[in-house]
Structure 1
């Protein structure tokens, strides 16, 4: 790769998956892990000055965005402060910036999958912050790529996938949100998309803008859980079926700020980059393997 790529958040599952896939293709990324004290605003200036990158891939707050979905005021302010400084620094130094966002920028009222042209109208504070940062990046930095994901899943203990599997193993009936829709997307698939985008940017392709990706096909969280149950039974990790009790989406406090419909349409990514979606069903066994590692 001719570009000097600075990867922020190399320690998290998405960063690790990306580095592993890049290594297979002998692609070197300058990887920076989360500092013990967290991502302080002044670090953005220091990293840009020290690494002198052509492109920054910002995965610094993957955990807060996709594993925990934090609505905590202090955590959100820390994200805002660091990201705003990074956006300003990249714009001032003509550095391309790739940033993650999510389906939280939508209110979830649409009955079909969201496209990039759909109006942003977030319900929660995290979604509002993401929409604000997106707008800041578009305004200040012409050379940018925003990648929105919905349900990003990994094998970490704090993540939604591990919590789902623990619940399936531990109790019956298991209460799950009714008609919560999205694209279950393993981090390995998300990393594949990120690497593909990086390679085309390295070829100086004029592909800046906002894109969606989700593994195919969109489904409900309950339907996804039922597929996980069948896979666990097949592995001998469950002795019998699990009774799932549907609960109204609005009565699940842990889903506060989430759109009820988080399904994203990745047609623009396919048309511009030629990146075809992979099915989450085919990737489910590998995702479960991550839990046992």
Structure 2
């Protein structure tokens, strides 16, 4: 199967390509052009490469690491991805895309399943939901993978910003009861590659699936874990004091669901992909960030 990976230059694309190469699996990489992802490029890729499947990671960094919700960025993403979906529909080319827990409002007390009703709390979540619906409507052969908190070693991503904060302050304000599944980018890439391998075996496993590394935790609990890892590696001298604050009072969290925990049971039942513990994976990710 000829798989075209859009956004091969970002950390998700790099993690996926690295794991695929280790298994002698060839994926065709397309990096972001200098002018950005323009709508007409979707047609050019489909006409020129004639792929058997497209994996769309084009806006991974904007969506999952920076969480950009300004109108210009969202419109650029919408224009490109809508053209890509329509092009795949016209050519009957399967399309795999990433989405997130942002499609939910976060009011549920337990982890979200694929059957829960979507109700985004912000503009980025609404865009993700709009693209999900368009993909389902136009392309019967599709896979939507929703992730919780995706973490990579980019300095300006959520984990990089957190580590910088911990190293530069003695008091940090964090949201109370903000829950999710911390998911290292390498674990997410493992899941994507596992799905691709089974689709390559002609398994008709199209649909929407959730994944997050086990187990769900609060952001405060995650930060406490990161602090101890940094102290243990000598990057931090002592604990940083945490001041809890109501979730709604922190503007930086606008548009994010208070509860971003996702249940990965359906992915395991359909694909046999088991969750991995984020605690086991975090030391390596923190080491990458410190280089």
TM-score where L is the length of structure 1: 0.98
For this pair of structures, how many residues does the alignment match?
A: 291
Alignment correspondent of 2:51: 53
Question: SS at the partner of 1:43?
Answer: helix
Alignment correspondent of 1:276: 274
Of 198, 201, 206, the match for 2:199: 201
Q: Any gaps of 5 or more consecutive residues in structure 2?
A: none
Alignment correspondent of 2:140: 142
Of 81, 84, 94, the match for 1:83: 81
Q: Deviations over 1:117-150 (max 9, x none)?
A: 0000001011011000000000000000000001
Alignment correspondent of 2:160: 162
**Shift in Å at residue 36 of structure 1?**
1.0
- 1: CA distance between counterparts of 2:65 and 2:78? 18
**Shift in Å at residue 151 of structure 1?**
0.4
Question: SS at the partner of 1:114?
Answer: coil
Alignment correspondent of 1:19: 17
Q: Any gaps of 5 or more consecutive residues in structure 1?
A: none
- 2: CA distance between counterparts of 1:255 and 1:287? 23
Of 259, 262, 269, the match for 2:260: 262
**Shift in Å at residue 107 of structure 1?**
0.2
Is 1:130 the counterpart of 2:128 in the alignment? yes
- 1: CA distance between counterparts of 2:49 and 2:179? 40
Of 239, 245, 248, the match for 1:247: 245
- 2: CA distance between counterparts of 1:290 and 1:161? 11
**Shift in Å at residue 165 of structure 1?**
0.7
User: Over aligned residues, Cα RMSD in angstroms?
Assistant: 0.6
**Shift in Å at residue 269 of structure 1?**
0.1
Question: SS at the partner of 1:227?
Answer: helix
- 2: CA distance between counterparts of 1:184 and 1:290? 16
Q: Deviations over 1:52-98 (max 9, x none)?
A: 00000000000111011111001000111000000001111111100
